């Protein structure tokens, strides 16, 4: 048997390699220089360089030059590159939020930043995967780093438990994912998406049951990562127990990567599987929308409320997955961009309001905030209103795009559920706003300030408003007319 060496396109891999080498160099550098500042700056620099490479690839792909590596297994099409931007943005915001937070909480260890970079690089691998093995590797690279990060507060039981719980359930979920991959491999004999589709469509294909079962298991594994009900059990505990910047990172970057992977396999493989595979996602979405929104309604702690809100948003995003294909992909990327900005922003505000042990995030603490810290209250209001989907903010446009994509794909009743639940969601998003503006303060507010966090909040507010008022430019850039794999 002749040995075929894989083709390697270094430019395609450049953003990824930049992140990886920055992370390993930063880890070594951290051995000799324990200054977090230097390592954090190095990490931000790495993200910036990766973004520049990504931009170069993106411009090239707009001009019709589509690159890939390892024989269509690592893709740099417009979808993957746009997702890379969102991932890099999310990671940069998380690092900015982390810097002063870690100092204040006495958790300052320079290894934190390389781990975050590694996790982001895993996320990029997932977005670029054109092969189930690559998808799995990306998922593991991303998750293993996040498990450790969520246990970063070593002295606090909540954090240690968050890490352990996330790890155990995550290992469980990735076992399902691997089993699903194995079943699809067993049914079709291939791992890469085009070959799987070819195998499924081949004359005399009989293993449709195995393949469908595999598809459902993959859905369960990825559904865990994005916290679709009923795979969301870990989310509230882990989101609450992990240090707040890590929660921001998890809710933003991990979700983006898992949805990127889900969108791609849904666009390609799932239409060829049994109808059960798509039906099960419909059920998951309906459950997620209802359970996520109604449970968020009864939470007192803002961090926990945001955790359930993250679950609910996974439901909206999954609607776009159902409408996979050009329209759904565009809507999902747009939504994730907005979601990254507003969610990371909300968590950033939260780091400034809660004490160094992440306590004191209950609703009462928000009372009268508009008077004591007007700018912070205004920023939080923007984020919450955007999450709720108020017009002229990014979240609203995202919801419109996703809903219209879902209606286009014929899921009208599900969209109706989504619209009704997003009206319910207004209640829990507007409640903190009411507290901030119309209540007398009950506690002396903390006067925590942090330059880097302020920068992150500034970027997030700017982005949320900009995308809300001028949604067109980013959407038109996402015209995914050309893709390496047919069907997208």
Partner 1 sequence: MLTLNHFLALGAILFAIGLYGLLSRRNLVAILMSVEILLNAILVNVVAIARFNDQAQGDVFALFIIAIAAAEVAVGLALFLNVFRLNGVATVDPLRRMKE
Partner 2 sequence: MDYALELSGALYIALFALIGIAIVFVTLGMSRMIAPHNITPGKLAIYECGEIPSRGTDVQFNVNYYLFAIMFVIFDVEVAFFFPWAVAFDALGIYGVVAVALFLLLLLDGLIYAWTKGVLKWVY
Which residues form the interface with partner 1 (CB under 8 A)?
133, 136-137, 140, 144, 147-148, 151, 154-155, 157-158, 160-165, 167-168, 171-172, 174-175, 178-179, 181-183, 185-186, 189-191, 237, 240-241
In 3D, which of 335, 433, 452, 419 has the Cα closest to residue 382?
433
Distance (Å, whole) CA 198 – CA 271: 12
Is residue 27 within the footprint of partner 2 (CB under 8 A)?
yes
Is residue 420 within the footprint of partner 2 (CB under 8 A)?
no
Q: For residue 342, what are its two tokens?
A: 């507003």
429 binding partner (options partner 1, partner 2, none; Cβ < 5 to 8 Å by kind): none
Distance (Å, whole) CA 421 – CA 399: 12
Is residue 5 within the footprint of partner 2 (CB under 8 A)?
yes
Q: Least distance to partner 2 from the beta carbon of 3, Å?
A: 4
DSSP 250: I
* CB of 262 closer than 8 Å to CB of 129: no
Q: Where are the beta strands (DSSP E) in 190-279?
A: none
In 3D, which of 2, 50, 53 has the Cα closest to residue 23?
50
31 binding partner (options partner 1, partner 2, none; Cβ < 5 to 8 Å by kind): partner 2
In this structure, how many other beta carbons lie within 10 angstroms of the beta carbon of residue 17?
Answer: 14
- Closer of 30 and 47 to partner 2 (Cβ): 30
- Closer of 21 and 280 to partner 2 (Cβ): 21
24 binding partner (options partner 2, partner 1, none; Cβ < 5 to 8 Å by kind): partner 2
DSSP 129: B
Q: Least distance to partner 2 from the beta carbon of 167, Å?
A: 14
Is residue 412 within the footprint of partner 2 (CB under 8 A)?
no
Q: For residue 140, what are its two tokens?
A: 């593991």
* CB of 341 closer than 8 Å to CB of 467: yes
In 3D, which of 343, 383, 344, 349 has the Cα closest to residue 366?
349
- Closer of 114 and 292 to partner 2 (Cβ): 114
Q: Least distance to partner 1 from the beta carbon of 237, Å?
A: 5
* CB of 46 closer than 8 Å to CB of 88: no
148 binding partner (options partner 1, partner 2, none; Cβ < 5 to 8 Å by kind): partner 1
Q: For residue 485, what are its two tokens?
A: 């794999």
Q: What are phi and psi of 231, to 5 degrees?
A: -95, 25
66 binding partner (options partner 1, partner 2, none; Cβ < 5 to 8 Å by kind): none
- Closer of 117 and 418 to partner 1 (Cβ): 117
Is residue 198 within the footprint of partner 2 (CB under 8 A)?
no
- Closer of 196 and 382 to partner 1 (Cβ): 196
Q: From 21-29, 91-99, 185-193, 251-259, give the range in contact with partner 2 by CB under 8 A.
A: 21-29
Distance (Å, whole) CA 286 – CA 324: 17
Is residue 24 within the footprint of partner 2 (CB under 8 A)?
yes
Is residue 137 within the footprint of partner 2 (CB under 8 A)?
no
Q: For residue 204, what are its two tokens?
A: 């005399």
Q: For residue 214, what are its two tokens?
A: 């595999």
Task: Among 11, 28, 201, 298, indicate the residue that binds partner 2 (CB under 8 A).
Answer: 28
- Closer of 24 and 413 to partner 2 (Cβ): 24
Identify the three-state secondary structure at position 74: strand
325 binding partner (options partner 1, partner 2, none; Cβ < 5 to 8 Å by kind): none
Is residue 31 within the footprint of partner 2 (CB under 8 A)?
yes
27 binding partner (options partner 1, partner 2, none; Cβ < 5 to 8 Å by kind): partner 2
Distance (Å, whole) CA 137 – CA 20: 14
Identify the three-state secondary structure at position 445: coil
3 binding partner (options partner 2, partner 1, none; Cβ < 5 to 8 Å by kind): partner 2
Is residue 10 within the footprint of partner 2 (CB under 8 A)?
no
Q: Least distance to partner 1 from the beta carbon of 238, Å?
A: 9
Radius of gyration of the chain (CA): 21
Distance (Å, whole) CA 414 – CA 322: 10
Per CB under 8 A, residues contacting partner 2 are 3, 5, 24, 27-28, 31
């Amino acid at each position: 048997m002749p040995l075929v060496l894989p083709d390697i396109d270094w430019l395609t891999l450049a953003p990824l390699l930049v992140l990886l080498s920055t992370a390993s160099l930063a880890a070594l550098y951290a051995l000799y220089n324990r200054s977090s500042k230097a390592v954090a700056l190095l990490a931000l620099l790495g993200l910036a360089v990766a973004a520049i490479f990504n931009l170069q690839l993106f411009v090239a792909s707009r001009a019709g030059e589509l690159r890939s590596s390892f024989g269509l297994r690592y893709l740099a099409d417009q979808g993957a590159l746009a997702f890379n931007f969102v991932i890099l943005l999310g990671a940069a915001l998380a690092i900015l939020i982390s810097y002063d937070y870690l100092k204040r909480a006495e958790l300052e260890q320079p290894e934190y930043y390389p781990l975050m970079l590694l996790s982001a690089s895993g996320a990029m691998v997932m977005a670029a995967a054109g092969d189930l093995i690559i998808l799995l590797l990306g998922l593991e690279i991303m998750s293993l780093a996040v498990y450790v990060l969520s246990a970063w507060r070593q002295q606090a039981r909540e954090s240690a438990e968050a890490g352990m719980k996330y790890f155990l359930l995550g290992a469980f979920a990735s076992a399902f994912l691997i089993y699903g991959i194995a079943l699809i491999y067993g049914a079709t004999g291939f791992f890469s998406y085009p070959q799987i589709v070819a195998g499924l469509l081949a004359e005399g294909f009989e293993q449709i049951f195995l393949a469908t079962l595999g598809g459902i298991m993959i859905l369960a594994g990825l559904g865990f990562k994005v916290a679709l009900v009923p795979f969301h059990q870990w989310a509230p505990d882990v989101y609450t127990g992990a240090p707040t910047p890590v929660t921001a990172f998890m809710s933003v970057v991990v979700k983006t990567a898992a949805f990127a992977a889900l969108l791609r396999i849904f666009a390609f493989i799932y239409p060829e599987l049994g109808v059960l595979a798509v039906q099960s996602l419909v059920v998951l979405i309906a459950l997620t929308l209802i359970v996520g929104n109604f449970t968020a309604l009864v939470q007192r702690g803002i961090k926990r409320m945001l955790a359930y809100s993250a679950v609910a948003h996974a439901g909206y995003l999954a609607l776009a997955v159902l409408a996979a294909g050009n329209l759904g992909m565009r809507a999902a990327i747009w939504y994730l961009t907005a979601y990254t900005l507003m969610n990371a922003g909300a968590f950033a505000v939260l780091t400034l309001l809660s004490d160094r042990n992440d306590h004191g995030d209950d609703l009462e603490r928000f009372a009268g905030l508009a008077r004591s810290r007007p700018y912070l209250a205004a920023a939080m209001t923007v984020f919450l209103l955007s999450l709720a989907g108020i017009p002229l903010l990014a979240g609203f446009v995202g919801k419109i795009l996703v809903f219209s994509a879902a209606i286009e794909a014929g899921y009208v009743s599900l969209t109706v559920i989504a619209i009704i639940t997003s009206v319910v969601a207004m209640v829990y998003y507007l409640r903190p706003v009411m507290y901030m503006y119309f209540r007398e303060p009950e506690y002396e507010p903390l006067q925590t300030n942090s330059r880097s966090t302020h920068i992150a909040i500034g970027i997030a507010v700017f982005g949320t408003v900009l995308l809300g008022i001028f949604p067109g430019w980013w959407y038109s850039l996402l015209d995914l007319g050309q893709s390496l794999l047919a069907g997208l």
